Amino acid sequence: MSRDIYSGLKLNMSLYAEMFSQIQPSLARFSEISETLSSSIIPILQTYNQMDLGGINRIVDSMRPIAELYSSYDQMNSVAEAARQIAETVHPISQQMEQIRANMPDMSGLNDVIQQIVPITHNYSEMMVNLQNALSIWDYSADELYEEELYDLSEDLEDAIQTVCEGTATTEQINKYGKKWKEKIKKIIWTIFQYILLSLALPSLYDYVVSPVYKTIKEVVLYREQYASSSDKNIGKDTELEIWSDDLNQDYIEISYRYEGETIAGYIKRDDLEENTIKVSDGVSVDEVLFVSRCTELMADYWEIEAGEAYQKLNDETTMVEDYIVKNYDALSKMSDSDVVNEIVRVYEERASQDNTKDEQ
């Protein structure tokens, strides 16, 4: 599972709201000049800003990396309840997002270009302000996306676009860029502006409560950018690292970790991951946690006991939570409640019988 700079858990709503508040001038400008999308996107962005961010933060904080998520019913249930609350909060917005996504123009052709021009780990909210600044200086607006000649950019044009994105171009330089490349650079900047806004305005609902977690066994070097040549920060021993890279064969692995109450993101070298950390947890998806909670409630009703007792039977007595329910989530989650109960009862009784046989021997 990959993540962008704003999604420590893929749903840290306070960061999204903070970002949108920083780019309000950009949003206002976008609303004025883009009739095709602003009527549907702007209300969603405003909804983010109106949310109970304190409540969202408390929920999200309860879902920070948990190496032993299934160790107790209370811990599992608190995370499941937090997931339900977030789902209820964002479900109406998610439905709106899906409708917009279905009607969006195909922008996939811009991915490679933008990744070449725009630093992947750059602060996108700052970049939006920088792009808007250039568009304002040029007094430029257009509803259409610029898709022609995006793959035919000279090196000096790429450098110019980079300085605009980073905010290092002066007003004089921006005016010179406009005179030199005229409509071409203006349309490209406008296209990047819309692309980033749409990408950030349409985040998917979080997928994971916990990504794979590793713990450092000695200090490792943190790099703020991928393939950086130097770093001024080390990650201390016994720190839990949440792994975000899909491919662990890369030279640099994207990670995040908690330090003094804050989430710090960056990269470590693959050698450090392999030699100086140990794996303490696999990734845990939200859907899996909610399914474990559902199974616990079903079995509590079946056995006519409290949910905590049912969880103890499933997790402590037979270790079925992780090595059966979670392991077979894909198949079990497609069954009816009655079939799920029958399957769990069958496996539970088999394991209980095996344990009794061992005790007799």
* Least reliable range by pLDDT among 21-25, 66-70, 81-85: 21-25
Q: Does any domain span residue 102?
A: yes
pLDDT surpasses 90 at 296: yes
Q: Which of 201, 223, 243 is the last residue of a domain?
A: 201
Q: How confident is the model at residue 4 (pLDDT cuts 50, 70, 90)?
A: very low
Residues 241 and 109 in one domain: no
Instruction: Considering only residues 240 and 197, tell me which one the structure prediction assigns the higher pLDDT.
Output: 240
Percent of the chain with pLDDT over 70: 58
Domain that holds residue 327: 285-360
Residues 297 and 235 in one domain: no
Residues 220 and 197 in one domain: no
Give the tens place of pLDDT for each residue, 244-286.
Answer: 776 777 888 888 887 886 778 888 999 999 999 998 877 777 7
Confidence at residue 49, expressed as pLDDT on a 0 to 100 scale: 52
Q: Does any domain span residue 207?
A: no
Q: At 359, which amino acid appears?
A: D
Residues 217 and 190 in one domain: no
Confidence at residue 190, expressed as pLDDT on a 0 to 100 scale: 82
- Considering the entire predicted model, what is its pTM? 0.57
pLDDT surpasses 50 at 1: no
Residues 237 and 276 in one domain: yes
Confidence at residue 33, expressed as pLDDT on a 0 to 100 scale: 47
Torsion of the alpha carbons at 339, 345, 346 and 350, rounded to the nearest 10: 160
Instruction: Considering only residues 286 and 198, tell me which one the structure prediction assigns the higher pLDDT.
Output: 286
Give the mean pLDDT of the chain.
75
Q: Which of 282, 309, 332 is the last residue of a domain?
A: 282
pLDDT surpasses 70 at 79: yes
Residues 27 and 145 in one domain: yes
Q: At 316, which amino acid appears?
A: D
Q: Which of 282, 298, 332 is the last residue of a domain?
A: 282
Look-up: residue for tokens 């005790």?
Answer: 359
pLDDT surpasses 70 at 147: no
CATH number, domain with residue 256: 2.30.30.40
The domain total for the chain is 3
Q: Does any domain span residue 258?
A: yes
Instruction: Considering only residues 358 and 285, tell me which one the structure prediction assigns the higher pLDDT.
Output: 285
Residues 97 and 228 in one domain: no
Confidence at residue 201, expressed as pLDDT on a 0 to 100 scale: 52
Instruction: Considering only residues 81 and 305, tell me which one the structure prediction assigns the higher pLDDT.
Output: 305
Residues 265 and 308 in one domain: no
Confidence at residue 122, expressed as pLDDT on a 0 to 100 scale: 54
Task: Give the per-residue SS3 of the chain.
Answer: CCCCCCCCCCCCHHHHHHHHHHCHHHHHHHHHHCHHHHHHHHHHHHHHHHCCHHHHHHHHHCCCCCCCCCCCHHHHHHHHHHHHHHHHHHHHHHHHHHHHHHHCCCCHHHHHHHHHHCCCCCCHHHHHHHHHHHHHHHCCCCCCCCCCCCCCCCHHHHHHHHHHHHCCCCHHHHHHHHHHHCHHHHHHHHHHHHHHHHHHHCCCCCCEEECCEEEECCCEEEECCCCCCCCCEEECCCCEEEECCCCCCCCEEEEEEEECCEEEEEEEEHHHHHHHEEEEECCEEHHHHHHHHHHHHHHHHHHCCCHHHHHHHHHHHCCHHHHHHHCCHHHHCCCCHHHHHHHHHHHHHHHHHHHHHHHHC
pLDDT surpasses 50 at 90: yes
Task: Give the per-residue SS3 of 100-134.
Answer: HHHHCCCCHHHHHHHHHHCCCCCCHHHHHHHHHHH
Residues 150 and 195 in one domain: yes
Residues 147 and 177 in one domain: yes
pLDDT surpasses 90 at 337: yes
Mean pLDDT, range 210-236, rounded to an integer: 81
* Least reliable range by pLDDT among 67-81, 196-210, 298-312: 196-210
Q: Does any domain span residue 335?
A: yes
Residues 116 and 225 in one domain: no
By the 10 Å C-beta count (0-12 exposed, 13-18 middle, 19+ buried), 309 is classed as: middle
Q: Does any domain span residue 2?
A: no
